[in-house]
Structure 1
Amino acid sequence: MSIDAFLEGFTERDWQEIDADGSERVRFAMVGMGWWTTEEAIPAVVGSDFCETTVAVSGSVSDPSEVEATDVERAIDYEEFVAGEAADAYDAVYVCTPNAMHLDHVRVAAELGKDVLCEKPMEVSTERARGLTAVCEEEDVALMIAYRVQTDPAARRARELLRDGVIGEPVSVHGGMSDEMLSFVDDPDHWRLDPELSGGTTMLDIGIYPLNTTRFLLDAEPVSAYGRTRSDQPEFEGVDEHASFEFEFEDGVLLTGSVSHSACEESHLRVVGTDGQLLLDRIFFPGRPRELVVEREGTRSHVTFDQRNQMREEFDYFAHCLLTETEPDPSGEHGVGDVRAIEAVYEAAERGERIEL
């Protein structure tokens, strides 16, 4: 089969079953009004098809007019959130607070009967991640972990091509991500530099992207892990600045790569197979022009797709699941898998040997 035949017939929103006519919408409470929520999440929801932001939960925002979204009705603090204030004004919550606070905020939402979209990493330890999943199961609310790459048309197209055998059998994967954290985190007391709040690891923050995306693309799980970490600058005392990793998957595929909080902004994931290779370039940063490149039989093809807003796709997908009473994916158990695998990387770095999962 020619590569052109492989590239035909892709539906970008392969999950959508109902019309986006605005007649049905999920109302969100945004829990945590840091820069990611205000600059990425809320603007994405403003232009979404199936949801809207109606409540802001924050320790600093006290008036709806402070939020740049016309549909925000109420601004409440965390104590009011716990007390159930404005609970009738939202259907679901988006939890985007420091990692170690996710469990507590998800528990409040679940006990209020609200479905949950929780940012990654879902928590700072496997134990707390499992507790987060358990509380949602106990309260019978939907839980989705916010792996926005999984709803990006480029990643979904790549997974479809791999399933169709466009590059043969996958043999190895290389992934990486880097940024200059200190350029946007200028406060030494910022939670990302606090190991108790962040989990203390570059892998939990950005290494989770190549790991989780590989799990998604291959539909496979890692069986062992190895890694190394280091920190050079004094600002990273207690948290690592750079990390390298290797995961062996259940089918023998190796994922290798590195992440850094002190390097130029870059991200990629390359899958090498028996008959070709597939590259997702700049895939982990929202708002960046992403590329999907396929090489096969001496032909290099740039696959076309709509450059959709990753956050908007994520919110619309989750809302669509709620409206159609469909179980959202990735699940809490899926998120637990990443936290456990990343813990193994740090155990391996400390012990100097590969850790079986």
Structure 2
Amino acid sequence: MSLEDAFDEFTHRDWERTEWEQVREDAQPTAPDTPETVRLAIVGVGNFARNRALPAITDSRYCDPTMLVTGSPDQCRTLHEQFDIDHIVTYDAFLAGNHIDTYDAVYVATPNTFHSRYAIAAAEHGKHVICEKPLETTPERAQEIVDACDEAGVTLMTAYRLQVEPTVRRTKELVADGVIGDVVQAHAGFSHPLLDHADPDTWRLDPDLAGGGALVDLGIYPLNTIRFILEPEPDGVYAQIHSSAPPFDAVDQHVSFQLEFPTGATAACTASFDAHARSWLELIGTDGLISITSPFGGVVPQEMIVESGDVRMEYTGPPVDEVREEFEYFGYCVLTGADPEPDGEDGVMDLAIIEAAYESAETHCRVGLE
């Protein structure tokens, strides 16, 4: 791939087969039972599910919200009307299988420690699963989700939306094609002033519910994105964490960690619950660099700088709703039987690295990764 041609089709979905789209369109008039969309039950109706996920699911071609699962059904009546959702049930009713014929898959958006409860229940009901990141609070509990979905023969996707976001996918292609040579260093960070948007009693500051602090909630973005782009798994991690006064005293308020790869490349990453909102990603290779503006903040501006040898290009792509892309991708995988790239094992691997990072922070030593 030449740098000049790299952005000709910036937003193209390389995961979407055009021939399948044609077959799907041709099949509808003669095969009315052919599913047009994946009917989704949304398990956990917090701020992100309300304001980002539900609109994205509604706008997608391959998914349709048909049920809400919540601890406060009366507080979701406006969502029922706004998104034309037929059913609202409690968590216990969901576990019992109420209205089980009204959905094909579940989107799990509860606090992290409850992910396995509802994802495994969905698998046992024969339903596909897209689960928010991190997949659970420990790699062992995440593996239980993977095993349950494998046993049930259902699709499991960890909700790493950046893996389907155009800027990151184009970056992965550029790196794979050697446009910047061999990657030597990666630098990334994600900071977000949590208390500007949440109360001090938010579940994200409860280690039993979240499984950690800034590393789990924010650091997982650069961690997974760099793993996705570079592909070889890291073989070592070194981390430092810092927490001050309440309400941050129970979890990591600030974290820095370095990933080491068998190629000799390193990735230096930071995350913070209590700093000015900012995110960045930069990859430095032997022959160039790639810099992405604000990749992790929820709305990627599609601004990139790529340098390859003596050529430098600044590019701004068209806006893309990465959350909608995520559900489009999940729905497509379910309808076609394709295996999602951000699968359950991807979620387990991140948790294993996070666990090792916490061990490193406690021991002040590098921790090797198998």
**What TM bracket, shorter-length normalisation?**
over 0.9
Q: Supply the distance in 1 between the matched residues of 2:191 and 2:327 (Cα, whole angstroms).
A: 25
Q: Which residue number in structure 2 is paired with residue 165 of structure 1?
A: 178
- Asked if 1:121 is matched to 2:134, the reply is yes
Structure 1 residue corresponding to 2:193, chosen from 165, 173, 180: 180
Q: Which residue number in structure 2 is paired with residue 190 of structure 1?
A: 202
- Asked if 1:112 is matched to 2:125, the reply is yes
Q: Which residue number in structure 1 is paired with residue 167 of structure 2?
A: 154
Q: Supply the distance in 1 between the matched residues of 2:303 and 2:347 (Cα, whole angstroms).
A: 26
Q: Which residue number in structure 1 is paired with residue 291 of structure 2?
A: 279
- Asked if 1:215 is matched to 2:236, the reply is no
Asked if structure 2 preserves the Cα contact closer than 8 Å seen for 1:63 and 1:74, the reply is no
- Asked if 1:291 is matched to 2:303, the reply is yes
Give 1:268 shift: 1.1
Range moving further from structure 2, 269-278 or 19-28? 19-28
Q: Which residue number in structure 1 is paired with residue 363 of structure 2?
A: 351
Q: Which amino acid aligns with 2:16?
A: Q
Q: Which residue number in structure 2 is paired with residue 101 of structure 1?
A: 114
Give 1:286 shift: 1.9
Give 1:10 shift: 4.9
- Asked if 1:72 is matched to 2:72, the reply is no
Structure 2 residue corresponding to 1:44, chosen from 44, 56, 59: 56
Q: Supply the distance in 1 between the matched residues of 2:149 and 2:348 (Cα, whole angstroms).
A: 14
Q: Which aligned pairs between 1:204-353 and structure 2 lie closer than 5 A?
A: 204-353=216-365
Q: Which residue number in structure 2 is paired with residue 137 of structure 1?
A: 150
Asked if structure 1 preserves the Cα contact closer than 8 Å seen for 2:235 and 2:262, the reply is yes
What's the C-alpha RMSD, in Å, of the aligned pairs? 1.7
Unaligned runs of 5+ in 1: none
Unaligned runs of 5+ in 2: 29-34
Q: Supply the distance in 1 between the matched residues of 2:185 and 2:124 (Cα, whole angstroms).
A: 43
Q: Supply the distance in 1 between the matched residues of 2:84 and 2:310 (Cα, whole angstroms).
A: 52
Q: Supply the distance in 1 between the matched residues of 2:333 and 2:292 (Cα, whole angstroms).
A: 26
- Asked if 1:16 is matched to 2:20, the reply is no
Q: Supply the distance in 1 between the matched residues of 2:325 and 2:340 (Cα, whole angstroms).
A: 13
Q: Supply the distance in 2 between the matched residues of 1:84 and 1:2 (Cα, whole angstroms).
A: 53
How far does the alpha carbon of each residue in 1:283-336 deviate from its partner, in whole angstroms, 9 at most, with x for none?
112234232220122333123433211110000000001111111221111111
Asked if structure 2 preserves the Cα contact closer than 8 Å seen for 1:151 and 1:314, the reply is yes
Q: Which amino acid aligns with 2:104?
A: D
Q: Supply the distance in 2 between the matched residues of 1:9 and 1:127 (Cα, whole angstroms).
A: 40
Asked if structure 2 preserves the Cα contact closer than 8 Å seen for 1:124 and 1:198, the reply is yes
Give 1:62 shift: 3.5
Asked if structure 2 preserves the Cα contact closer than 8 Å seen for 1:193 and 1:239, the reply is yes
Q: Which residue number in structure 1 is paired with residue 4 of structure 2?
A: 4
Q: Supply the distance in 1 between the matched residues of 2:59 and 2:2 (Cα, whole angstroms).
A: 38
Task: Indicate how the Cα distance of structure 1 residues 232 and 313 shifts in structure 2: closer, same or farther if over 3 A, else same.
Answer: same
Q: Supply the distance in 1 between the matched residues of 2:151 and 2:5 (Cα, whole angstroms).
A: 47
Q: Which aligned pairs between 1:24-39 and structure 2 lie closer than 5 A?
A: 24-39=36-51
Aligned residues: 356
How far does the alpha carbon of each residue in 1:124-167 deviate from its partner, in whole angstroms, 9 at most, with x for none?
11111111111111211110000000010111111111111111
Q: Secondary structure at the match of 1:262?
A: coil
Asked if structure 2 preserves the Cα contact closer than 8 Å seen for 1:62 and 1:77, the reply is no
Give 1:190 shift: 1.8
Q: Secondary structure at the match of 1:250?
A: coil
Identity of aligned residues (%): 43
Task: Indicate how the Cα distance of structure 1 residues 63 and 196 shifts in structure 2: closer, same or farther if over 3 A, else same.
Answer: closer
